[in-house]
Amino acid sequence: MASIALTRGNPQEARTHLETAIQSDPDSVYLHQRLALLLKELREYGPALDHARKAAELNPADIESITLVADIYALSGNDDLAAETYQKILEMDPDNQRIRLLLTTLLVRQRQLQDALDQLHMLIEQDPDLVVAHYYLGRINLEMNRYEEAEKALDETLRLNESLEPALFDLATLYQMIEREEEAVATYEKLISLYPDNIPARE
């Protein structure tokens, strides 16, 4: 009934059915997960966190439930607990690329840039062709004014995906910052040829 209510666009009705189901089966990891996900979509992060924690408590080895807890922490602005929980997941599943990328994003938001770089290096070691990891590596190094490292990472990003818009823009910006104007112009022109609506590049 909850699933039917959701397909009909009635999330509050679905919530009522899930709450009723949990009353009948309070130890169901699946039901607590479903309700936590629904409440997360409704941006009711407090109750969502309660049900996500309950699911994780019922099955401490369930990475899906622990990830849900971490995601809700992040969405509700509790970056410290989110990062701590993502670290816990990586101890259980060190090859989880999604979680390591989420942790990296949190570390950048907290301005823990060197820690973020360490996470990216681990990702690249696991998967040398992971485009997003190379791009973030370039972006963070650019923010840290480490131009040589940034250029190397952005070049590798564009080797893997030559039309990646943000990587082209950041590389052109880097060239401009270090006064390599001709290369900056050429890169901006390439970017505009691929993405003619990119106004900042035109400016």
Please write the tens of the pLDDT for every residue from 144-162.
999 999 999 999 999 999 9
- What's the pTM? 0.78
Largest CA distance in the chain: 70
What would you report as the CA-atom Rg of the chain, rounded to the nearest whole angstrom?
22
Percent of the chain, pLDDT > 70? 100
Confidence band of 16 (pLDDT split at 50, 70, 90)? very high
* Rounded CA separation 74/104 (Å): 12
pLDDT at position 136, please?
95
* Rounded CA separation 92/107 (Å): 20
pLDDT over threshold 90, residue 2 = no
